[in-house]
Each structure stands twice: as C-alpha cells, then as structure tokens.
Chains A and B, each alone.
Chain A
Amino acid sequence: MLLLALDTATPAVTVALHDGTDVIASSGQVDARRHGELLLPAVDRVLAEAGLKLDAVTAIVAGTGPGPYTGLRVGLMTADTFGLALGVPVYGVCTLDGLAYAADIDRGPFVVATDARRKEVYWATYADSRTRLTGPAVDRPADIADQVKGMPAVGAGALLYPETFPQAHEPEHVSAAALARLAAERLAAGEELPAPRPLYLRRPDAQVPKNYKVVTPK
C-alpha cells in the first residue's frame, strides 16, 4: 500500500506518503496565497525523497476542508485528477479530523478550529483524537463561546480568538502526515472512506461582480 495524502484547506500546503506502516516522506509549507503553485512541486519533492514514482501510489487521500474555497479546490482537483490518471481510489478526510488526530488528545472533549476568515471559524468538537462529536460548522467565535467553554482547543482558528478559546494550543495547521496516518488506520480497520467532496459550509456569494465576465486586461 502506498497512500498519497494532501491537504490545501488551510494556509498550509501539505503532502505526505504513507506505505502502510508509517509516513515515509512529507512536506508542509504555509502560504495562503500560493496553493496552486506549491502543491505539484511538493508532490514531486515528496516522491523524490521517498525514491518513488507517482505510479506506485495505490490510493489518494485528500483533505476535504472546510476551508477557504479557492485553496481547498486546488487539493481536491489535484487528487481527483491523479485518481483518474492512475486509476486508483481517491478518499476524502475532513481536514479538522486530521488536526484532531495530530492533536493527540486521549480524553476530550476538545475543539478544533481553523480560520474561516470574515471573523468566523470552521470548528468541530471531538471526544478524542479519532472521534468527532459535533460539526464541522462555521460560526463567529463569540456565538459559540458557551458551547466550547472549558474545552482545550487546537488550530489556527482557536489561536486567533483567545477570548473564545483561552486554552488554545498547537498544532496550528493540519499536516498531510496526520491525514495519511488517520486514513491508513481507518482503511486498515476496514472502514469505508468517503469520496473527496468539498465541505464548503457556506453558500456561494451570489454577487455578480460589477464587471462580470470581463477577462480582457486593459
């Protein structure tokens, strides 16, 4: 088994290879504006580090968010297309589940929150690192303060709003290594993983820009 995991749902562009036993190579770069540029070279680097070629991959795992849409789609589109070209299955794992797994907390409940911009967070609660209790959802931190009171919290969204998440700590960003380990564990346990469909959680802004469809540069 060789899993290629990737996630672009947060400011991190992260890629990892898992051979069924453990992660054998990984990469993580934090740059919220360049997911499209960074992902393919990162895949190339991780494969080179492991001394493998892409056609050795037997399954793809992609973080399905929630996360800012433009970046999120880079990872999902890449995963989908790799799956098509290689003829291997593509699985989706909720990005917040990856963060929860990396948080390595045995006894919850705890919160995972990422930055949803517009002064909101994407968040979910967990009984332990492998068991989601609620979510994912998108809300203003102040509106969920009562629901998360007293819970430890991880993720950039928690670190960003200490009034709501006073017990926030690392990890800040998701890693594809955690995503790969979680997926490998679930697959080994015979669990079915879902197809990689994006968790947008918000309706699209139905605003037609003033100069819509104008694509010719002046």
Chain B
Amino acid sequence: MADEPLVLGIETSCDETGVGIVRGTTLLADAVASSVDEHARFGGVVPEVASRAHLEAMVPTIDRALKEAGVGAKDLDGIAVTAGPGLAGALLVGVSAAKAYAYALGKPLYGVNHLASHICVDQLEHGPLPEPTMALLVSGGHSSLLLSSDITSDVRPMGATIDDAAGEAFDKIARVLNLGFPGGPVIDRYAREGDPDAIAFPRGLTGPRDPAYDFSFSGLKTAVARWIEAKRAAGEEVPVRDVAASFQEAVVDVLTRKAVRACKDEGVDHLMIGGGVAANSRLRALAQERCEKAGIRLRVPRPKLCTDNGAMVAALGAEMVARNRAASSWDLSADSSLPVTDPHVPGHDHVHEVSKENLYS
C-alpha cells in the first residue's frame, strides 16, 4: 500500500554493512556487503577491520538498495539505523551515515535496537507480528529469549546466555575440527551425515535448579574440545561428522527446549527464531517438531533475513513511523551496550522541529 511508511534502514553493528528498504511490512531491497572474508583468517570478527570496511561499503550499498527498491531517496519517510548493541566503532559508522543522510534529505531519524530489529524482520516474511511474540535470537553475538507485546515499545528479556553465544560455540568447535570460519554453515553440513546420538555431550543449565530460560555454551564447548583432543591423543581418527552432529544436537536441544517452555509458561502461542544460527537446518527442524507438539506456531524468516541486514532495521523503523514513535535527535550516539529493553532511542525536545528549518521542505 502506497501510504505505508517507506523507510531505509542501516545496519553496521558487526561485520555486515546492511542497507534495506521496506514499505510497511513489504521488503523492497536488502543490500548487504560483508567483510566476513577479511576476518576469516583471524577466526573471529576484528572490530577495526569491520569498521574500515563499513566506511568503504556504505555509499555503494545505499546506492544499490535504492536501485533494487526502485525508489528515490526523496520519497523516503524516514531513515532507521542500528544504534546498538554491537561493536562501538562499527556502530558509529552506520549512525554517522544515517544521521547525515536523514539530515540532508530532511527526513526523521530513528535509532533502533539491533535485537528488536532481528525480531521485527519477520514482519517482512510472515506479516504483522502477533502480540505477544516469543523470540529466540541466536547468532555469533547473541543468544536470548525475548518476549514482546509491542516491538516498538516493549521487549522483555526472559533469558540469555551466561557465557558464550551459541554461534560462538559453533565457531570454536569448527576451529578445533579445522573446518574454518564461520563455523555454523560447515558444522550444519557435516552434521547432516553424522549421528546426533553418537556422543552424549552435556546440555548446559538444564538441571532442576538452573535458571529456566538462561543458556550456557561454554561448558559444552570445552567438553567437545576435550573429547576431540582425547581422540587425537590416543592416535584415533576424529569422527568429524558424528562430533558435528552430536555437538549441534546439544545446542539446538537446549535452545528449542527452553524456548518452547517459555512459550508454555507465558501462554504465548507464537515463537519466532532469528539471528544467524536460525539458518541452522537442525534447529529449524527440531523447533518445528517441538512447536507442533506444543501447539505453538513457529515463525522463522528465510536465512538471509536471519543474519544481520539492513532490512530488519528498516522493518523496525517503519513500525516506529507507523506507530508514531518519537524520532531520534541529531546528537544520537552509538551505544554498544544499548539495553534490549530499549527498542529505540527517542530524541529529546523538538529537535526535529528546529532542525527542519535547515532542510529541504
């Protein structure tokens, strides 16, 4: 519909330079430039390398998104940007670009939360989010269970990892198995040919006295690494496929078990899964199976919308416009530890009113 807000979103919280354009809940463009290859040899994201890449990629990626969407910059109703959480230096590149773009075009600016964006992106795939929605966000940077009754104003943390993110565990195990970086896709591939019950790896924080919705993957990581080292020390061959499958099973078993339990406890009949690890085929399959059994409707966006991208930021920005949320001010800063409970960073005192004097009208 033409009267739905047309919003451009910018994402630079980690190693992807993402620029997306949406109209309401319709995806028009999703341009991403990734610096992942530059980080591969370090086995993890190097912040300064990511920041440098964002600066180089930003303008071409904005251009590409506008072309892909077939819209003009002047037609936009707002500019949204990830204000946090994320890598401070990387976030600041995106925030600087978004502020300059919004200011130059005379459009309102919305600094939004990266985690809320991961949830909101599902609107582009499956239509408006049910309220409330339970969300399981799993990636190299986050492992959280969140409950939201209104994605623009109310996101409640139910649980989170107490040590490593789920995606980090995948990267670490891939490294120990000499499978390269990032670890998620390659572990998934090997696991398909392995036996998930071959080795009984521990399920973190699943004891009766453990916090019901928190996660821990550090112990699992160590257990798998020790198991592999023991095999090698004994001069035996490491059954890579079985290790991958058994490790992956331990991760997705805990994730889905806790997510479904949270839904049941809170009386929520929708679960969305987002973040890079949501691309994992076994996580999708097991979540589907367990949700069906529990009468919960599962919503998982296509893999490209699960990893970091600009469209998710635009999706949340459009929702901010649609629900008349306050725009951010021109002194918006990047906040590397923006709390998940702040879906956006509203401005103070009529800043946009004053500044409109200096803009196109």
- Chain A interface residues toward B at CB < 8 A: 34, 36-41, 43-44, 47-48, 52-55, 69-70, 73-74, 76-86, 198, 200, 204-209, 211-218
Contact B99 A78 (CB under 8 A): yes
B43 touches A204 (CB 8 A): no
Taking the closest CB of chain A, its distance from the CB of B275, in whole angstroms, is: 10
Contact A44 B355 (CB under 8 A): yes
Assembly CA distance A53 to B106 (angstroms): 11
B104 and A81 contacting across the interface, CB-CB below 8 Å? yes
Cβ-defined contact, A48 with B358, below 8 A: yes
Using Cβ atoms and an 8 Å threshold, which residues of chain B touch A215? 13-14, 85-87, 114, 141-142, 336
User: Once bound together, how far apart are the Cα atoms of A47 and B106, in whole Å?
Assistant: 14
Cα(A43)–Cα(B100), bound, Å? 10
From residue A36, how far is it (CB to closest CB) to chain B in Å? 5
* Chain B neighbourhood of A218, CB < 8 A: 160
**Least Cβ–Cβ distance between B119 and chain A, in angstroms:** 13
- Mark contacts of B322-361 with chain A using CB atoms, 8 A cut-off: 1 yes-contact digit, 0 otherwise: 0000000011111011111000000000000001011110
Contacts of B48 in A (CB 8 A): 69, 204-205
B residues 138-157 with Cβ under 8 Å of A?
A: 139-144
B141 near A36: Cβ-Cβ < 8 Å = no
B75 at the interface (CB under 8 A from A): no
**In the complex, which residues of chain A have a beta carbon less than 8 angstroms from the beta carbon of B338?**
217
User: Which residues of B have CB within 8 Å of A70?
Assistant: 51, 88-89, 92
A85 to chain B, nearest CB (A): 3
On chain B, the number of residues with a Cβ less than 8 Å from chain A's Cβ atoms is 64
Cα distance A41–B359 when bound, in Å?
13
Using a CB-CB cutoff of 8 Å, which residues 90-131 of chain B contact chain A? 92-93, 95-97, 99-101, 103-105, 114-115
A52 to chain B, nearest CB (A): 8
**Which of B49, B165, B357, B360 interacts with A213 by CB under 8 Å?**
B165
Of B13, B52, B63, B96, the most chain A CB neighbours within 10 A belong to B96
B45 at the interface (CB under 8 A from A): yes
Contact B59 A81 (CB under 8 A): yes
Instruction: List residues of chain B with CB within 8 A of the CB of A209.
Output: 44, 47
Q: Are A36 and B101 in contact (CB under 8 A)?
A: no
Given A74, A83, A84, which contacts B96 in the complex, CB threshold below 8 Å? A74
Can you list 29 pairs linking A and B with CB atoms under 8 Å apart?
A36-B96, A38-B331, A40-B103, A40-B331, A44-B330, A52-B358, A53-B359, A69-B51, A73-B51, A76-B55, A80-B55, A80-B100, A81-B96, A81-B101, A84-B59, A198-B55, A208-B45, A209-B47, A213-B139, A213-B141, A213-B167, A213-B168, A215-B87, A216-B85, A216-B142, A216-B160, A216-B161, A216-B340, A218-B160
Cα separation A9 to B63 with both chains bound (whole Å): 26
Say how far A103's CB is from chain B's closest CB, in angstroms. Answer: 29
**B96:A217 contact, CB within 8 angstroms:** no
B58 contacts the other chain (Cβ, under 8 Å)?
yes
Contact A208 B168 (CB under 8 A): no
Q: Which residues of B contact A (CB under 8 A)?
A: 13-14, 39, 42-49, 51-52, 55, 58-59, 62-63, 73, 85-89, 92-93, 95-97, 99-101, 103-105, 114-115, 139-144, 160-161, 164-165, 167-168, 330-334, 336-340, 355, 357-360
**Bound form: Cα–Cα A84–B99 in Å:** 13
Interface contact B100-A44, CB-CB below 8 Å? no
Establish whether residues A213 and B104, one from each chain, have CB atoms under 8 Å apart when the complex forms: no
Contacts of B334 in A (CB 8 A): 36
CB distance from A93 to the nearest CB of B (A): 17
Q: In whole angstroms, what is the CA distance A214 to B73 when docked?
A: 34
A53 touches B92 (CB 8 A): no
Write the nearest CB–CB distance from B68 to chain A, whole angstroms.
16
| Minimum CB–CB distance for B249 against chain A, Å | 23
The residue from A53, A77, A84 contacting B358, defined by CB atoms under 8 A apart: A53
Contact partners of B115 in chain A: CB under 8 A: 216
CB pair A78–B89 under 8 Å, yes or no, is: no
A34 touching B142 by the CB < 8 A rule? Answer: no
Minimum CB–CB distance from B336 to chain A (whole Å) comes to 8
Cβ of B114: which chain A residues have Cβ within 8 Å of it?
215
**With contact pairs A40-B331, A70-B88, A217-B338 given, residues A81 and B49 touching in the complex (Cβ less than 8 Å):** no
